[in-house]
Chains A and B, each alone.
Chain A
Amino acid sequence: GAGVSQSPSNKVTEKGKDVELRCDPISGHTALYWYRQRLGQGLEFLIYFQGNSAPDKSGLPSDRFSAERTGESVSTLTIQRTQQEDSAVYLCASSPRTAVREKLFFGSGTQLSVL
């Protein structure tokens, strides 16, 4: 596609439910990143993929969070047993590779609201 696509754009869920957030990176981009942005805050790194492997998962806040990627394509971020503090915008980004001096291209994010 022309840009990074994320779905859904908005998700309202009840505390304790599981949610899946989807990211479609730019075609041909091997690197894919997930960030979280709480209201009024900067971007908090969650995880990145090189191809379908995840060399750095250090930002995942707890074992309720997991992510996977199919080949060099779609990625899914899953949050189990959602809590109110999970409410945030979840941003996905891709780049041609994880080498130095590569800028990231961001999607429009998923606004997650946990009631």
Chain B
Amino acid sequence: EDKVVQSPLSLVVHEGDTVTLNCSYEVTNFRSLLWYKQEKKAPTFLFMLTSSGIEKKSGRLSSILDKKELSSILNITATQTGDSAIYLCAYQGAQKLVFGQGTRLTINP
């Protein structure tokens, strides 16, 4: 059965720290891997990764896919309190997105 596993499930750090969130997957018919940020209810899109080893960056956030290891990481540098959210990883199979359980990130001032 296809599945996505994220770790850690919860993380608390101080403002200014750097964090790395992990996502591993076991899937058939892999198309792409996506990261979303969920602050209240609606997840908002961060990155889509399709090729191994190519880093995607947006400001202090970056992500990379390792197809050999069937995993992806999301890095956030110089964290701010506004980065507090649930970060969701999902793989895109043939027709739908399958999500992991998310990492709840809390940034303390």
Q: Which residues of B are found within 8 Å of A44, using beta-carbon distances?
A: 99
Contact of A106 with B98 in the complex, beta carbons under 8 Å: no
Stretch in A18-26, A62-70, A76-84, A97-105 with 4+ CB within 8 Å of B: A97-105
- Count, chain B residues at interface, CB 8 A: 24
A28 to B: closest C-beta gap in Å: 18
Contact of A101 with B32 in the complex, beta carbons under 8 Å: yes
Contact of B42 with A56 in the complex, beta carbons under 8 Å: no
The B interface is mostly helix, strand or loop, or mixed, namely strand
The docked-state distance in angstroms from the alpha carbon of A78 to that of B59 is 41
Contact of B42 with A108 in the complex, beta carbons under 8 Å: yes
Contact of B96 with A108 in the complex, beta carbons under 8 Å: no
Q: Does B101 contact A (CB under 8 A)?
A: yes
- Count, chain A residues at interface, CB 8 A: 25
| Proximity string of chain B (95-108) to chain A, C-beta cutoff 8 Å, 1 when within and 0 when not | 11111111000000
Binding site for B on A (CB under 8 A): 4, 33, 35, 41-45, 48, 55-56, 89, 91, 98, 100-109, 111
